[in-house]
Structure 1
């Protein structure tokens, strides 16, 4: 096991999450990125291990409470307590408000809000126990400006 500080980056298979994961890896963290599928995890694993073989990736679907609970318990056993968590995973269901279905609304809330809550709730206790840690929650600009 590496003695590097561990960083957990959710939604790391592409876009901002991938860039954050790669930057943390280049800055000397042992980065564990997440994706909702095994293919996504394999992609981020390959990219991160090209930077350092200690980096890895796991499947984590923060919209699924049970899977999140099991995956993060396994994370703590396999990798240890992270020094940094970047909650980047999120979904978009762009639609006019009047046309947005209850299911679309529920999917967005369950992933973008409840998912972040789940990750923090599971990880904050071991972070407090180690008396160190940083949690960064990333949101879309639409969270502050709104959308049609």
Structure 2
């Protein structure tokens, strides 16, 4: 690792959007910590990064576990360098209509999305404020605007937008920007799982979604990774507290 290489942490980075973000940040010159619930699941992403000449580390962590988060971040700092970029991407769905949603399903989604983002941000901000440079990117969703069957997920993703704006206010004076990305329909294992649950072939599911999107296609993980890449740049230092909808068209 070169003396000038900064370190980024990406949660939920073993697959989908998180993996694409990890690979993109590596190409941008960051050392990347690939965090996921199962450390072994992150190793293929690390191997891909290393094969391309990058530096990466797989770390297993439950982002809702305070002690585990603190230990994971300390390990990253020791093995890769002080983390000054954090992408809070880890997420789960437990979809159901309100009258069928269990308290456990509500808590599970809140714990990963909101508690996890809080714990990860709190653990990494010390490195950013000390460096007087940092970037936090939170993954929200178009579901923050409301989506049938996702009261838990929608509430969590909307909460992340308020969390983003507050952190931007608190951390701005330390040279730390905080922004959120709200993806629309992105082709991942998670959306494939949604199609399976509703009993629709994934190709048909994607085609129906694309028909409602102004640019005429569904999104790819690399579309989100490109937006993260922008927020993490030196010259994005005057962009903070923003929520950008990467959804192929306008959202309110």
Q: TM-score, normalized by length of structure 2?
A: 0.55
Q: Is 1:94 aligned to 2:95, yes or no?
A: yes
1:20 is aligned to 21
2:115 is aligned to 114
Structure 1 residues without counterparts, runs of 5 or longer: none
Structure of greater Rg: 2
Q: Larger relative CO (CA 8 A, sep 6+): 1 or 2?
A: 1
Matched length: 148
Deviations 1:19-63 (A, max 9, x none): 111111112211111111122122222222122252222112102
**What SS does the corresponding residue of 2:113 show, helix, strand or coil?**
helix
C-alpha deviation, 1:11, in angstroms: 0.8
**What SS does the corresponding residue of 1:93 show, helix, strand or coil?**
coil
1:60 is aligned to 61
CA contact (8 A) 1:10 1:17 kept: yes
Q: RMSD of aligned C-alpha atoms?
A: 1.5
Moved more, 54-63 or 44-53: 44-53
CA contact (8 A) 2:8 2:32 kept: yes
Structure 2 residues without counterparts, runs of 5 or longer: 150-252
1:144 is aligned to 145
What is the CA–CA distance in structure 2 between the aligned matches of 1:39 and 1:77, rounded to whole Å? 20
**What SS does the corresponding residue of 2:83 show, helix, strand or coil?**
coil
CA contact (8 A) 1:2 1:30 kept: no
2:86 is aligned to 85
Q: TM-score, normalized by length of structure 1?
A: 0.91
What is the CA–CA distance in structure 2 between the aligned matches of 1:29 and 1:96, rounded to whole Å? 41
